[in-house]
Amino acid sequence: MDKNDMILVSVDDHIIEPPDMFANYLPAKYADDAPRLVHMDNGADMWKFRDRIIPNVALNAVAGRPKEEYGLEPEGLDEIRPGCYNVDERVKDMNAGGVLAQMNFPSFPGFAARLFATEDADFSLALVQAYNDWHIEEWCGAYPGRFIPMALPVIWDAELCAQEVRRVAKKGVHSLTFTENPAALGYPSFHDDYWEPLWKALVDTNTVLCVHIGSSGRLSIPATDSPPDVMITLQPMNIVSAAADLLWSKPVKKYKDLKIALSEGGTGWIPYFLERVDRTFDMHATWTLQDFGGKLPSEVFREHFLTCFISDPLGVKLRHKIGIDNISWEMDYPHSDSMWPGAPEELGGVFDDEQVPDDEIDKMTHLNAMDWFSFEPFKHVPREKATVGALRAASADHDVTIRALSKHESNAQDKLAAWEQQIKAATGHTRAKK
């Protein structure tokens, strides 16, 4: 398939939330206590909520910037592309990158919105609902057919979470961002009956549970003196643990229509994982009392799990061992793993190298995403205008030049210092000095 004929729907991108997002959606009585964006003396813009400060770190918003500006130090909105936080500019960036649609995960509240858990239950729920309504109505609603809407969970209350799933489903939302390990956040595990109302709500509304790497709030680092490269290399590994935890859990066996997306987890590891779970079942089910209703765990995995990849040449090579109906593409804009604006070229090169037939390309690039997330973009954008070539032609004058945007000098030592602060925040320990 010619790259210009592809239709690209990404199931994992991110929003850097704009400062006015709560203005029209949070009840007036909570306005003074709402999260707010604060401009710091060093030029960085950070979200402040009570005693918490949440920075926009550089790796979260490097689209269109040189690799020399990658790092973990905080930044201001004037140092990142407007498409990170402005929906009009986001759609221009999508057009220029040949991307029809995106699903956008949150940033400052965290993937599971744990930040919004306060001692005031009504206020906490109001924050989640205000965020969701802003995202659905103002961000996604501005350009119908261009975004797969996603909701934040009420992570601290399973029954309220189920109610929110049902509420937003009436608005056309069939995606819920969640944590890969609720126990790591202090809540019951996936194996606890506590979550039963949520599983039922997800199934009743045909909503996909999206567990994103890093959503447990833990860094995957084996030692406090590890360089940042170790953490970045191991980031997808948490999703392997989540996949095993969920596959062997009761809800997957009980609810045949439960759907789970392993967001930004990659795909190259899946074939070994499936071999391993089948081997585990064969060798141990007699004493662990696992029962998949006459099926192998690998078969049940394919019934319930969507896997997501950015480039993954190995995963594409092994696509039939994963399941061609279980793979969707993601771009990860504006994070550092993103291939924007050259996704069609990089992805097309991977497909060409593996001689992937057109029907399989269509499944991985958009049809699977549309099916799993009940998304119908062609009701709003004619198919002939949804291709890479058509979108780019409609936005030919949009500037996608890679350029430096940082307004402050930052060297390698500054970046490592920012990394050490992240380690201390995550582990309580200072990085060991050599």
CATH number at residue 124: 3.20.20.140
Say what the pTM is: 0.92
- The residue written with tokens 């920075």 in the block is 55
Say how many domains are in the chain: 1
Q: Decide: 239 and 216 in contact? Cβ < 8 Å.
A: no
Q: Is residue 247, in this structure, part of any structural domain at all?
A: yes
What angle, 0 to 180 degrees and rounded to 10, lies between the N-to-C axes of helices 237-247 and 270-288?
40
State the Cα–Cα distance between residues 36 and 127, nearest whole angstrom: 12
Q: Is residue 187, in this structure, part of any structural domain at all?
A: yes
Range of the domain at 307: 3-427
What is the pLDDT at residue 356? 98
The secondary structure element, H or E, covering residue 313 is helix 313-317
* 403-406 contact pairs (CB < 8 A, 24+): 403/64, 403/65, 403/66, 404/65, 404/66, 404/68, 404/69, 405/64, 405/65, 405/69, 405/78, 405/79, 405/80, 405/81, 406/58, 406/65, 406/69, 406/75, 406/79
Res. 427: pLDDT tops 70: no
Q: Assign 105 to helix, strand or coil.
A: strand
Residue type, 295: K
Q: Is residue 432, in this structure, part of any structural domain at all?
A: no
Res. 6: pLDDT tops 60: yes
Q: How far is CA 121 from the centre of its chain?
A: 26
pLDDT digits (tens, 9 = 90+) for 242-278: 999 999 999 999 999 999 999 999 999 999 999 999 9
State the Cα–Cα distance between residues 268 and 219, nearest whole angstrom: 21
Q: Is residue 106, in this structure, part of any structural domain at all?
A: yes
Q: Is residue 434, in this structure, part of any structural domain at all?
A: no
pLDDT digits (tens, 9 = 90+) for 84-102: 999 999 999 999 999 999 9
Count CA atoms within 13 Å of residue 193 on its CB side.
Answer: 0
What is the percentage of the chain residues whose pLDDT exceeds 90? 76
Residue type, 24: N
CA torsion angle 238 242 245 247 (round to 10):
-140
Q: Is residue 335, in this structure, part of any structural domain at all?
A: yes
Confidence of residue 419 (pLDDT cuts 50, 70, 90): very low
Q: Is residue 168, in this structure, part of any structural domain at all?
A: yes
Q: Is residue 150, in this structure, part of any structural domain at all?
A: yes
pLDDT digits (tens, 9 = 90+) for 286-341: 999 999 999 999 999 999 999 999 999 999 999 999 999 999 999 999 998 899 99
